[in-house]
Structure 1
Amino acid sequence: MKCEILHESRGRIRVHCVCGRMTLHQADILEFFLRAKPFVTNAKVYDRTGDAVIWYDGERRNVIKALAGFSFADESAEALVPEHTGRELDRSFENKLIAMLMWRAAKRTIVPAPIRFVLTVINALKHIKEALTALSHGRIEVSVLDATAITVSLLRNDCGTASSVMFMLGLGELLEEWTRKKSVDELAGVMSLGIDKVWVIKDGTEVLVPTNAINAGDEVIVRSGSMIPLDGVVLSGEAEVNQASLTGESLPVHKTVGSYVYAGTVVEDGSCVFRVDKTSGCGKYDRIVKMIEESEKMKSQAESKAVHLADKLVPYSLAATLLTYLLTGDSVKAISILMVDYSCALKLAIPISVISAMRESSVHGITVKGGKFLEAVSEADTIVFDKTGTLTHSTPRVAEIFTFGGSSEEEALRLAACLEEHYPHSIANAVVEEAKRRGIDHEEKHSTVEYVVAHGISSSIDGKKAVIGSYHFVFEDEGCTIPADEQEKFDSLPHQYSHLFLAVGGALAAVLCIEDPLRDEAAEVVSSLRELGFEKIVMMTGDSKRVARCVAEKVGVDELHYEVLPEDKAEFIRQQKAEGRKVIMVGDGMNDSPALSEADAGIAISSGAAIAREIADITISADDLYCLLTLRKISRALMTRIDRNYRFIMTFNTALMVLGAFGIITPTTSALLHNGSTISTALSDMRAYLP
């Protein structure tokens, strides 16, 4: 592409694209193409002027080379553009705002007064209709105040005041709509399903392939804990699917042959094969927006209290108006009061505060499903951690393999990886990665795989039952035995590792020693959480006493529970809540799901099981645990902002009413100040919470 350099300084260059008129989509293609370059730190493309501003590190010639090789027709560049970028939303708002201002100016300067009066009356009918509708339902809402002010102005033949009031109301509605849509759009833009690879059945064999390589008609298999990557129709099998993020249904939906499954929903139990119906788009953005809109219904108590109070104050605003008119006989003073209400500001500013907090959380790798969960995090005094994949790294590794019964180390690892690869969990991933590292090919040669939550996996190979999992599952539940002449070897297994037991045909075949290194930041995060107000920090794990104690001592938790089952974690949280505590649960696996659901706020690690992320109220990045500190700070800052907004809105609008009642400000000025303060508060609430 040909470009003309307009200006440049160290690490920054502005160019003009010689390509004729640039469309919105072309601007997005160029902007995301530039941002994808490793040497570009930021890029901004202006479609109106055809200019691009690029901030970069390194040599200038890299930028020039990238621009020279760019083409709007490049499919790889176009593929970098998200489904929604926000550019179209901004342009739509700009056009509406310009049109509104130009019409307002033209009406005041060109349109004759009689026609202007008729147009004002016609515009007023909409507000009057809304007021009558509210009254017919027995509600005295803000629309009643607006319609009363407009009607009184028209009856006084004060067309200017009525027109100004409606203009301010329209401008306020436009700005409110844009502010909210912008917040939702930015939040949706940083959220995604995040499914990179899926299991596809080809020639009767399961093959792991990238999601973007899936075509309509492909057969995909999903199992317990897996997220369904694409829309499709079930061909075989049965599954209980959690569709809460899509439909809001609290109970899982039974799916069988012929049922339709949706991208982004999660298999809670069972497994099924489905034929992909569509691969492009799949409504992912719309579903995320729907989730955000649903999350707005999950108001915190502070939100609900403020909004309910705002509704209750509307009749008092109307009463103050009537009282002012009865005492002064001045309709202008009465109208000045009508121009002010508490409801608009509270109902806009507070939800915007919540959405802004959710958006900022997303920037830091945290996905929050509603304001009530941020409030729960801000008020929580107890936090419960799972160990594996949470306090320890989400990518543990296989340190050693001990074989029994004549099994070879290579064959044991091949079989273990073959079984574990179907169920995403940090330990399962460790086994698969070790096989990959050693170059061991683990072809599918087992029958149907069954996953037992918090215990292990069962299947059969060459007619023999194969199980892999915990000591309790392999030896107590399945009744497997240790070869008689190898008991001493079994007893001398290294104690510093977690153990994964593999048995075939009822006899122990191998023990995989899993090194689960503690996260570097774990101890610091636990200490910082205590400084941020957590009174009780607990670790609960299904791991052995020796391993659990070792981790607990290093991290510095207040309380330790080991060798626990999923229901034990959930019961502990119920007990804590019964004692009046606000409890947060942090986990990453299917076995954490009951506890995540039971907590006041369940927090899942993004690299964990899909069902955990689905059930959890909050999902944090797997990169580090510092996200928890960020989450606590943002949630506290949010509640402080909501409280500050509440006090400011009540004080400022009361002051406007008093000034109007004494005739110090006119109705138009009152409307201007009221709407101006509402919009400025909302825009202020879009500011970052953290420095």
Structure 2
Amino acid sequence: MQRGQALNSMVNILHRTPGRLRLRLDIPLTASVRAHIERELREQLHINRLQWYSTTRTLVVYFKPHQTEALLLYFKQLDKDAIREAYQTEVEEPPQTAYETIRRAVVNRLFYKTLVPQPLRYLNMLYAGAKYLTKAYQDLRQGALTVEVLDATAITVSLLRGEFETASSIHFLLTLSDQLEANTLRASYHHLKDSLALSIDRVWKQEADEFVEVAADTVKAGDIIQVYKGHLLPFDGLIQKGNGAINEASLTGEAFPVHKHVGDEVYANTVLEEGELHIQVTRVQSETAIAKLVDLITQSESLKSSDEKLLEVTANRLVKFNFLGLGLTYALTRNIEKALSFLLVDFSCALRLIGPLNYLTAMKDAADEGVVIKGSKFIENFDAIDTFVFDKTGTLTTSLPEVAKVVPLNGYEQDEVIRIGACLEEHFYHPIADAMVRLAEERNIEHEEMHNDINYIVAHGIESSIDGKRVVIGSKHFIVDDEQVALSPAAQKVIDAYETDYNLLYLAYDNQLIGIFCIDALVRPDAQETLAGLQALGKRIILLTGDQANRAEAFAKQIGIQFDEVYAEVLPEEKYAVIQQEQEAGHRVAMIGDGINDSAALSLADIGLVLKETSDLARQVSDIIIYSDRLTDMFTLIALSRQLTERLRKSQAFILGFNGGLIGAGLVNLLSSNTIAFLHNFSTFAMAFISLRPFGSKEERALVLT
């Protein structure tokens, strides 16, 4: 196929070589259209490397030679209706990479200097200088000698001396620094928004006199939906019926629930911890309160690390020495060229660049490994964590436990016990609940709803009624101690036989124990390696579990780890108390959990981590999400934290030493002011590109941990 050949009315081949295809697309390449094409190429042909040039409507695709015919066929059959639908759908632009930001800035500057006449560029620089002066004046009025004052002075003096290019270069570097810092925060925002994104596909919507399950994206304002205890609220709305306790940690940061009644407003991405609600939807999608919260976060500095802030403070503190050097040099030598060395080398450009660039690189490296970090401060602080607190179920064990045995009692059939158990458990997120439902599906046991209103009691179990008689499922403590269900000799024999090897789930109906489920929670393949590795690094490890003490001890023996502390039969508030106790003892604590039971502890911990399969609330209150589902990626985080700290230390030392040397060279007339300005700018760019280098392979990170 030759250059310039049309595949269809929308796509023309501009150039083709083995493994590379350049196309012109006669369609508007909006973010949504590009995302549509990228998604289809990724899913259908496993092509991930594309380069867009939206202004010229061209696309370069890189592929393997054997994919050539399939790729050409895809573009030849490009669906006009799908493109039109994508065009009408708004898609948020993902944050630019730092390389892309710098590349665009450099290209734009070259075009600007080449195409814009010098008089216009001079006027534009005067306008920019006026803005710097305005900001400097505001700072001085408040008694603050900031970097902005130094920048304004350097630009103004350069313009007054007719050194237009020097002023323009300073302005360019400062603007680029601001863009890169904004990009770092935007990346944090992007990860945060992704982690808070609704994971609900189906909801219960009122139609006539009953609630039916429908796709979440079909719900409109004014519809009535039903939400059960333990579930995420998918939309903002008003309570029409029922009362409940709602955890609003994702909005307010408060880990404990707020009681809501008929007429109260409720918000998307909060979790119903107690009760059952009928809610009239008032807002959907981007109108929800959670979307507004994310917007607020982007305007704050809550995601910045202390090192990032320290670099800014250091840059400001050094300003007075620049002015002091300027004044003393001129007073002693009466040589303005020497004195101006202190303005041309201001330290701040590079210091302000290296923070956001290095954190952006670290967060990208982590994301490439399947780990999402919601803010730079969490990667900075990770190596300082000295105590790791692990929930057991779904964290150290797999998120997919299995029902190994079902023992029916008191004359009930096994299938009937499974039917009742699955009918109760299907309404709630928990790995064991999922295992119950899977078992019923595998055995083709239908479990249509036969119960009345259902109530989930955190860390205990579920209660409801069938045919007017009470039915409960949950822990032994809940069934035997709280519900006062008697254990027959046959039941006690089953418990004695299996309670050491399995987690036991008890089902009682009409105050009789009718079945025991033996749950086998397999240990994660990397759990032992992770725990042993953390101990080898001098970290304390603590186990929290709702299991009985003998099960907790058996688990520790099975995994071959001597925990520093083991807490068995803990309730959610007790998990919170353990974290609080450790912090009060002076420890920096990371909590690794997965369920609603863990949300308060995750929120309180210095850093909260969750794995891929986790509850909505746990995902919201966490600081780091390990989508790779590998516990060993905690070593990636520790290594990145160490590498980041070391790189920032070396970069700061180089910036201070190199730029200090330039000032010294100017004072003894070794270098001219133009050479000093060039070397200063060159070193700033060099530090920027060094900051963009990945932190190394897994093997290199492993060396950091030795």
Which TM-score applies when normalising by structure 1? 0.87
Deviation at 1:116, TM superposition (A): 8.0
Counterparts in 2 of 1:664 and 1:214: CA distance versus 1, 3 Å: farther
Letter in 1 for 2:576: A
1:179 alignment partner in structure 2: 180
Does the 8 Å CA contact 1:352/1:682 hold for their aligned counterparts? yes
* Partner Cα distance (1:614, 1:20) in 2: 38
Does the 8 Å CA contact 1:539/1:557 hold for their aligned counterparts? no
Does the 8 Å CA contact 1:383/1:534 hold for their aligned counterparts? no
Q: Secondary structure at the match of 1:520?
A: coil
* Partner Cα distance (1:616, 1:86) in 2: 22
Of the candidates 66, 75, 90, which is equivalent to residue 67 of structure 1?
A: 75
Residues 516-595 of structure 1: pairs in structure 2 closer than 5 A? 516-531=521-536, 533-559=537-563, 560-595=566-601
2:617 alignment partner in structure 1: 611
Of the candidates 352, 357, 362, which is equivalent to residue 362 of structure 2?
A: 357
Does the 8 Å CA contact 2:349/2:684 hold for their aligned counterparts? yes
Counterparts in 2 of 1:249 and 1:681: CA distance versus 1, 3 Å: farther
Letter in 1 for 2:63: W
Counterparts in 2 of 1:461 and 1:525: CA distance versus 1, 3 Å: same
Letter in 1 for 2:320: P
Letter in 1 for 2:75: L
Deviation at 1:437, TM superposition (A): 2.0
* Partner Cα distance (1:301, 1:521) in 2: 32
1:195 alignment partner in structure 2: 199
Of the candidates 374, 382, 390, which is equivalent to residue 377 of structure 1?
A: 382
1:659 alignment partner in structure 2: 665
- CA-atom RMSD in angstroms: 3.6
Letter in 2 for 1:412: V
* Partner Cα distance (2:415, 2:12) in 1: 61
Does the 8 Å CA contact 1:397/1:430 hold for their aligned counterparts? yes
Deviation at 1:396, TM superposition (A): 0.7
1:506 alignment partner in structure 2: 511
* Partner Cα distance (2:378, 2:609) in 1: 10
* Partner Cα distance (2:480, 2:380) in 1: 45
* Partner Cα distance (2:410, 2:161) in 1: 98
Letter in 2 for 1:599: A
1:14 alignment partner in structure 2: 21
Residues 177-576 of structure 1: pairs in structure 2 closer than 5 A? 177-186=178-187, 188-189=189-190, 191-192=194-195, 193=197, 195-203=199-207, 205-246=210-251, 255-282=260-287, 290=295, 293=298, 296-483=301-488, 486-493=491-498, 495-531=500-536, 533-559=537-563, 560-576=566-582
Deviation at 1:513, TM superposition (A): 1.1
Q: Secondary structure at the match of 1:273?
A: strand
Q: Secondary structure at the match of 1:625?
A: coil
* Partner Cα distance (1:294, 1:639) in 2: 26
Q: Secondary structure at the match of 1:195?
A: coil
Deviates more, 1:284-293 or 1:339-348: 284-293
Deviation at 1:398, TM superposition (A): 1.3
Letter in 2 for 1:350: G
Q: Secondary structure at the match of 2:513?
A: strand
* Partner Cα distance (2:675, 2:248) in 1: 50
Does the 8 Å CA contact 1:412/1:509 hold for their aligned counterparts? yes
* Partner Cα distance (1:334, 1:655) in 2: 14
* Partner Cα distance (2:487, 2:127) in 1: 89
Q: Given the alignment of the two structures, is residue 627 of structure 1 paired with residue 633 of structure 2, yes or no?
A: yes
Q: Deviations for 1:327-360, whole angstroms, at most 9, x for unmatched residues?
A: 1212232222123333443333213322332333
Deviation at 1:322, TM superposition (A): 1.0
Q: Given the alignment of the two structures, is residue 36 of structure 1 paired with residue 37 of structure 2, yes or no?
A: no
Letter in 1 for 2:16: H
Deviation at 1:678, TM superposition (A): 3.7
2:700 alignment partner in structure 1: none
Deviates more, 1:143-152 or 1:236-245: 236-245
Deviation at 1:473, TM superposition (A): 1.2
* Partner Cα distance (1:81, 1:32) in 2: 14
Counterparts in 2 of 1:641 and 1:459: CA distance versus 1, 3 Å: farther
Q: How many residues align?
A: 680
Does the 8 Å CA contact 1:179/1:682 hold for their aligned counterparts? no
* Partner Cα distance (2:329, 2:639) in 1: 45
Counterparts in 2 of 1:657 and 1:228: CA distance versus 1, 3 Å: farther
Deviation at 1:682, TM superposition (A): 3.7
Deviates more, 1:294-303 or 1:378-387: 294-303
Deviates more, 1:165-174 or 1:431-440: 165-174
Counterparts in 2 of 1:206 and 1:536: CA distance versus 1, 3 Å: farther
Of the candidates 58, 61, 70, which is equivalent to residue 53 of structure 1?
A: 61
Q: Given the alignment of the two structures, is residue 158 of structure 1 paired with residue 164 of structure 2, yes or no?
A: no
Does the 8 Å CA contact 1:502/1:511 hold for their aligned counterparts? yes
Deviates more, 1:597-606 or 1:17-26: 17-26
Does the 8 Å CA contact 1:86/1:182 hold for their aligned counterparts? no
Counterparts in 2 of 1:149 and 1:373: CA distance versus 1, 3 Å: closer
Of the candidates 660, 682, 688, which is equivalent to residue 694 of structure 2?
A: 688
* Partner Cα distance (1:380, 1:230) in 2: 36
Counterparts in 2 of 1:88 and 1:368: CA distance versus 1, 3 Å: closer
Counterparts in 2 of 1:393 and 1:23: CA distance versus 1, 3 Å: closer
Q: Deviations for 1:4-36, whole angstroms, at most 9, x for unmatched residues?
A: 553243xx3414246377556544432332122
Does the 8 Å CA contact 1:84/1:189 hold for their aligned counterparts? no
* Partner Cα distance (2:673, 2:250) in 1: 46
Does the 8 Å CA contact 1:360/1:689 hold for their aligned counterparts? yes
Q: Deviations for 1:140-171, whole angstroms, at most 9, x for unmatched residues?
A: 011211232344445xx522x2x334312331
Q: Given the alignment of the two structures, is residue 140 of structure 1 paired with residue 141 of structure 2, yes or no?
A: no
* Partner Cα distance (1:294, 1:637) in 2: 28
Counterparts in 2 of 1:534 and 1:377: CA distance versus 1, 3 Å: farther
Letter in 1 for 2:483: E
Counterparts in 2 of 1:259 and 1:391: CA distance versus 1, 3 Å: same
* Partner Cα distance (2:190, 2:434) in 1: 29
* Partner Cα distance (1:324, 1:225) in 2: 70
5+ long unaligned stretches in structure 1:
none
Letter in 1 for 2:613: S
Deviation at 1:64, TM superposition (A): 3.0
Does the 8 Å CA contact 2:572/2:598 hold for their aligned counterparts? yes
